Structure 1
Amino acid sequence: MIKDFVRKRSINVCLVNTGGCNGCDIEIVSCLAPRYDIEQYGIYVHNNPREADVLVVTGPVTGAWEKRLLEIYEKTPEPKIVIAVGACALSGGIFKEGHIHGPVDKVIPVDAKLPGCPPRPSEIISAVVSIAPDALAAKEKLLNQKLKEEKNKVKA
């Protein structure tokens, strides 16, 4: 019961690589290691976009990923918060001259941009933590609405 309470009031992040070199992904995964321990801030990484509050997108959007990224974004529940991480996600990076459909913000709306090739784990954590209050407030509002609806059903 306590675990469910904490998980509902934590930030759940889904990592999506749309065709980059995995440099940013390695830095994001290092956020889970004991040195940075992102979970101490109540931030949990999932692979399921249906559980995510925040999508962390790395890499330029390739042709194979354009439609998939839209699908993942649509599957993500409200509030949909997107953080584009790394030079490739922001501008195409080293893949700019290749066959890419552009940076992430040309495919889905981006709420926060984190430059770097790759950005440091501390910068990634700062970006997620800075966006967390908005996500938590919106999530809490949705939880309260659901609780009110359930109470009204019980009364009726």
Structure 2
Amino acid sequence: MKAEREGYYAIFVSHFPDAGSYDVRSVADMPVTGLGQATMLWCCKLGQHLGIVAINPGSAPWFHQQAGKYGLRGRGGRIYSVRFEPGQIPGAYGGEGKAVEIKDPFDKQAEALVAQSTEGPPYEADRDASSMINSHPASP
């Protein structure tokens, strides 16, 4: 691998779903981790249960599979999501007003997720992932 030949010590996949990280691990002779793995494991140090606010409800099955790969299926599973139009998130970098359009829906979902996690038990690990999506669409 090019990174090994150039003297790198590790590979970090900077995309939350860690796409391709298992493939890279199979051929690399160096540590490989990703943003999703690092974030989920760090969250385990802060609390007993995990929760995710996603930018798309369709990503929930991927996140459940990802948590399972990291041995975290019993640590949570609630996924709240926000719906955005294509290009809306990158467009938020255009000014403070646009950033609030993105931040507010995330904040609302995070607050709902925290409230839900304190009001009830975590999901059962054998439930269908699609039944664990608690989507509260936000207006773009």
TM-score for the superposition, normalised by structure 1: 0.29
Structure with more of its chain in strand, by fraction: 1
TM-score for the superposition, normalised by structure 2: 0.31
